[in-house]
Amino acid sequence: MQYQWILFDADETLFHFDAFAGLKFMFSRFDVDFTQADFELYQTVNKPLWVDYQDGLITAAQLQTDRFTAWGDKIGVSAQKLNSEFLKAMGEICTLLPGAKALIDSLLGKVKLGIITNGFTALQTVRLEKTGLLDAFEQVVISEEVGIAKPDVGIFEHALMRMNNPERSKVLMVGDNPHSDILGGLNAGVDTCWLNSAELPSPYGITPHYVVKSLHELELLLTH
């Protein structure tokens, strides 16, 4: 294998991230029937906050509280409490994407594995433990802890330093988001693989080294 390290994004690359299911589950604990319309309204707040976070305009803490401020005011629960319960719910319902376990199993012992995620600390270890992957990854780099989010090259530089600065042509970054994962990886000088299950066109100016439609396709690419 030409790579010494393979780095993965977490949400929608290894783990299925069903925010609506998680929110519905979480709000049920507060006797709230969270509907699809509620979710769409939530996303009008949540999505711009994620853009601001990835652009370095707000902190992880601001994102996590601001997205629940209106709901907290509405039902008389602090935004911090709602965020904590949401992350707990997402940990409880988490599942791996199809092919994730087989892919990781096929790579163990052949290459070093890591994760670089803009997801939050409270969720990562829980999910890795629940899915039996905790010991598979030598490095788990979380933007909330580093203080820099993908696609900022700084989080990749931090990860590479923790990896003892391998030759960058020997590192592959795999992710589903062409802007945060692929552009970030390209700017850091590592090879990139876009998990493009929806078969979307590549955004202008972003050209990954590889494009796959599934993790099974990635396994074939890397192991054959």
Q: How many structural domains compose the chain? A: 2
Residue 218 near residue 174 (C-beta atoms within 8 A): yes
How many other β-carbons are positioned within 10 Å of the β-carbon of residue 196?
18
| Domain boundary, last residue among 93, 127, 145 | 93
Domain boundary pick from 41, 60, 93? 93
pTM passes above 0.85: yes
Among candidate residues 122, 12, 19, the one with its CA nearest the CA of residue 67: 19
Q: What is the pLDDT of residue 224?
A: 80
Q: In CATH, what number is assigned to the domain containing residue 31?
A: 1.10.150.240
The answer to whether 9 is a known catalytic residue is yes
Three-state secondary structure of 77-118: CCHHHHHHHHHHHHHHHCEECCCHHHHHHHHCCCCEEEEEEC
User: pLDDT, tens digit, for every residue of 171-185?
Assistant: 999 999 999 999 999
Residues 100 and 204 in one domain: yes
Q: Which of 9, 11, 66, 176 is catalytic?
A: 9
Look up residue 198 and give its amino acid.
Answer: A
- Residue numbers of the domain that contains 79: 19-93
Stretch 38-54: mean pLDDT: 97
On whether both 71 and 131 belong to a single domain, the answer is no
Tell me the pLDDT of the chain averaged across its residues: 96
Q: By percentage, how much of the chain surpasses pLDDT 90?
A: 97
* CA gap 52, 59 in Å, rounded: 9
Task: Please tell me whether residues 130 and 33 are part of one structural domain.
Answer: no
pLDDT of residue 44: 98
